[in-house]
Amino acid sequence: MEPVLFYGVPQGCSFGSIVALEWLGEPYRLCRIEMMERPWPAAYAKLNPRMLTPALLTDDGAPLVESLAILQHIGSRKLGAGIGFAQGTREFDRLNQMLSYLMTNFFFSFGPLWTVYETEGLTDAQKDLLRRMGEEDVRNQCAYVDRVLAGSEWLLGNRKTVADAYMAGVARWAEYHRLFDMEAEYPHFARYLKTLRSDPAVRFADAIEKGERARGNGSFKGHVALDEVLDLAAAKRTPERVVS
């Protein structure tokens, strides 16, 4: 069984894992989770009891959750693809450091903005405070990333990695919330985002999220239903009975 990625829409950070799988170039399938629908399918808790995306069902039928773990898993599957590094190397440490930053400081800077978007019953004063808090923190993180990219094509230098795949999913939030003119204020970051948007894997992931017909590099083998995946995984993990 090919690995199956469970991705959330709309605007899920699991977007980056789709991009990484396309860059990897090995067969995989997808299972779509509509995050705005409540409650989520109860069966999903078998994969991730926290009921969050992404989740990855590996080719041996074992579930893996958390973006950091999933992206490092993808990057290490085929080191020749160049999007990950061998553990124990300096390059691996730098990648781990960048991923950790993106999934903490950068990711959480948008928290107040999403709270305004998702929470009912807030007063105008509460909304204004949250927006100011969010914009200030997002600006700080974008300024840092802009400095990182001042002399680099990608986050870690001159080759794209799973960190860039993840950034493709979360950096778009700044544009979604219309906080500032990225090109005018953070030109290196803006140039980098243009490069990402033109990447075939990013365009593929965008089409997948929108439910449009997507043309990838041939690695994507189609969508599967949640129940079907769980049945396949259970069969994969169940040892065959030996008949004597």
pLDDT tens digit sequence for 86-131: 999 999 999 999 999 999 999 999 999 999 988 999 999 999 999 9
> In this structure, are residues 14 and 168 in contact, taking their beta carbons and an 8 Å threshold?
no
Q: Which domains can be identified in the chain, with CATH numbers?
A: 4-83+201-237 (3.40.30.10), 90-199 (1.20.1050.10)
Rounded Cα gap, residues 183 and 190, in angstroms:
5
Minimal CA–CA distance to 32: which of 50, 14, 7, 57? 7
Count of Cβ atoms closer than 10 Å to residue 104 Cβ? 11
> In this structure, are residues 91 and 85 in contact, taking their beta carbons and an 8 Å threshold?
yes
Minimal CA–CA distance to 232: which of 89, 75, 94, 47? 47
Strand order of the β-sheet with 4-9 is: 63-65, 55-57, 4-9, 28-34, 220-223
pLDDT of residue 229: 85
Taking 70 as the threshold, does the pLDDT of residue 241 lie above it? Answer: no
- Following DSSP, what letter does each residue of 155-183 receive, concatenated? TTBSS--HHHHHHHHHTHHHHHTT-S-HH
Rounded Cα gap, residues 127 and 205, in angstroms:
32
**25-39, 73-87, 139-153, 220-234: least confidently modelled range:** 220-234
Minimal CA–CA distance to 178: which of 116, 125, 124? 116
Six token digits for residue 48:
């991730």
Q: 4-63: per-residue pLDDT in tens?
A: 999 999 888 999 999 999 999 999 999 999 988 888 888 999 899 999 999 999 988 899
> In this structure, are residues 20 and 76 in contact, taking their beta carbons and an 8 Å threshold?
no
Taking 50 as the threshold, does the pLDDT of residue 190 lie above it? Answer: yes
pLDDT confidence tier of residue 236, bands split at 50, 70 and 90: low
- CA distances 188 to 82, 88, 133, Å, are 23, 31, 24
SS3 40: coil
pLDDT of residue 231: 78
- Percentage of residues in the chain having pLDDT higher than 90: 79
pLDDT of residue 238: 53
Six token digits for residue 2:
């090919």
Taking 60 as the threshold, does the pLDDT of residue 198 lie above it? Answer: yes
Taking 50 as the threshold, does the pLDDT of residue 242 lie above it? Answer: no
